Amino acid sequence: MRFPALTRALLCLASLGLLPGLSPAQEVSSDIPLPVFEFHSGFWVNLHHTLYRQARLARSSSSPATAPVISGLSPAEQRVWDSAVAVYAADYAGKDLLFSLEMILIKNQLEDFETCEDLAGFKRKTCDAGLPARLTQALDSAAPIYRAHLWPEHDRLNRRWIAAVAPLVRHSALELSHRLADIYQTPWPRDRIRVDVTYFANIQGAYTSTDPLRVTVSSVDPRNQGPEALEVLFHEASHGISDSVESAITRECRQREKPVPRDLWHALLFYTTGQVIRSVMKDSFSNAGLPSSADYTPYAIREGLYKRGWENYLRVLTEYWQPYLDGKVGFDDAIAHMVSAL
């Protein structure tokens, strides 16, 4: 029997007018004709993040052995689901989705096998994902339950998010990618960047892994909605081209025999993407019939990041990095002035 909405790579293109008449239940190519990004709503990576989140919740509850209950499960389904969550609680919930190499490798493998009906290769030998046996068993056993009770709604919300973000990407992605590549003096990736849209991503709402460069973003996180989603996407993607900034800061600090300021490079990424997005919104969104606001508040300010130990970073970025963004000073001079001022 064919899966309804089998971990298809993404969006219902018919809803965007790209493939008229395509049924939502049909599989579509993962190569979505949007510039810069390639969006996916994959079954396995969504299940993986759901089990991880439930395991974290179970570990933090007063009764860690009890997984959060999904309404509508039969007693037998609940036992199977609890067993899968228990595997995640024991083996993975203590590991960070972003900083654990093991978690990154698992995520990438699940993304690569998104069109498989199982991960053990029972139906197709080429679908043996080579994951640890306990993890494979947990995912394969939980899959029918997730598919019946949670996946239809998760997939619908993922595709709705993509449909909302697609016009912003079509309109501005090429301009933004060229602008950011110029700023960081690094070519933008030649291939489209894979973006896996999931109901739950991580506590930050989005994260990026490199080699290969891939973005995971939550479709329901309130920080990722509307024009703000464009900033989140390009901030995450900038992690793939920002080595020049981190290297320049480190080099300048060593020349001056100063400690490397922790997270200055990351604060710079937030600042840069926010300023570039705000400029694009002000100058061109309204002409394309898209949301426009000269008062757009960048993510780092909106979420209070500069009030969590980054106060001095905002000062030097405004005073010394902004002139570089405005074309008034060179890259090396801007870095040198920032390091000198801290």
Please give the chain's pLDDT, 342 residues, in tens.
333 333 333 333 333 333 222 223 333 334 444 679 999 999 999 999 999 999 999 887 654 444 456 888 999 999 999 999 999 999 999 999 999 999 999 999 999 999 999 999 998 999 999 999 999 999 999 999 999 999 999 999 999 999 999 998 988 899 999 999 999 999 999 889 999 999 999 999 999 999 899 999 999 999 999 889 999 999 999 999 999 999 999 999 999 999 999 899 999 999 999 999 988 877 666 555 565 555 788 999 999 999 988 999 999 999 999 999 999 999 999 999 999 999
pLDDT at 227: 86
How many Å apart are CA 280 and CA 269, to the nearest integer? Answer: 17
pLDDT at 178: 93
pLDDT at 62: 52
How many Å apart are CA 129 and CA 149, to the nearest integer? Answer: 24
**Among candidates 48, 17, 13, which has minimal Cα distance to 30?**
13
On whether the CB atoms of residues 320 and 337 are closer than 8 A, the answer is yes
Burial (Cβ within 10 Å: 0-12, 13-18, ≥19) of residue 304: exposed
**Among candidates 66, 59, 100, which has minimal Cα distance to 82?**
66
On whether the CB atoms of residues 177 and 36 are closer than 8 A, the answer is yes
**Among candidates 226, 199, 201, which has minimal Cα distance to 216?**
201
How many Å apart are CA 169 and CA 35, to the nearest integer? Answer: 7
Element (H, E) at 225: none
**pTM score, two decimals?**
0.84
Burial (Cβ within 10 Å: 0-12, 13-18, ≥19) of residue 57: middle
C-alpha separations of 49 from 100, 206, 305, 337 in Å: 14, 12, 25, 42
On whether the CB atoms of residues 335 and 249 are closer than 8 A, the answer is yes
User: Where does the chain show beta strands of DSSP type E?
Assistant: 37-40, 193-198, 206-209, 214-218
How many Å apart are CA 265 and CA 245, to the nearest integer? Answer: 6
On whether the CB atoms of residues 36 and 174 are closer than 8 A, the answer is yes
How many Å apart are CA 41 and CA 7, to the nearest integer? Answer: 7
Would you call 206 helix, strand, or coil by DSSP? strand
How many Å apart are CA 158 and CA 38, to the nearest integer? Answer: 14
How many Å apart are CA 169 and CA 167, to the nearest integer? Answer: 5
